[in-house]
Amino acid sequence: NYALTQPHSVSGSPGQTVTISCTRSSGSIASNFVQWYQQRPGSSPRNLIYEDDQRPSGVPDRFSASIDGSSNSASLTISGLKTEDEADYYCQSYDSGSLWIFGGGTRLTVL
């Protein structure tokens, strides 16, 4: 098993760009696809990114993601920050035997 570690919180002002990291504790980040989910207060989670960097239809292109083997991490970048982006963000990947692992979540505050 491994863990996915995210910063507890990040913040930014409207219009700014923020990046949320997700670091894999062991094994290569490239070994298994990484997904990102957004959960607004009182709502169900919503998929933002699948298979490392793919956006489902309906997700604005302000949301982008990548993986970095040198830091063994994935990153979610939100550009042109809006107040509606204030939410919790989770990365998710897989372990052997098709077991799913979620990161601890990052609270984004839009100042």
Q: Which is closer to other proteins, CB of 10 or CB of 101?
A: 101
How far apart CA 51 and CA 92 sit, in angstroms, is 10
| 3-state secondary structure (DSSP) of residue 30 | helix
Q: Which is closer to other proteins, CB of 39 or CB of 79?
A: 39
- Under rule CB under 8 A, residue 5 binds other proteins: no
Who's near 20: CB < 8 A, 6+ residues apart? 6, 7, 10, 75, 76, 77, 78, 89, 91, 106, 108
- Under rule CB under 8 A, residue 101 binds other proteins: yes
Per-residue contact string for residues 33-72; x = within reach of other proteins by CB under 8 A: x-x-x-x----xxxx--xx----x----------------
Residue 58 corresponds to which tokens in the numbers above?
């309906």
Binding site for other proteins (CB under 8 A): 1, 33, 35, 37, 39, 44-47, 50-51, 56, 88, 90, 92, 97-105
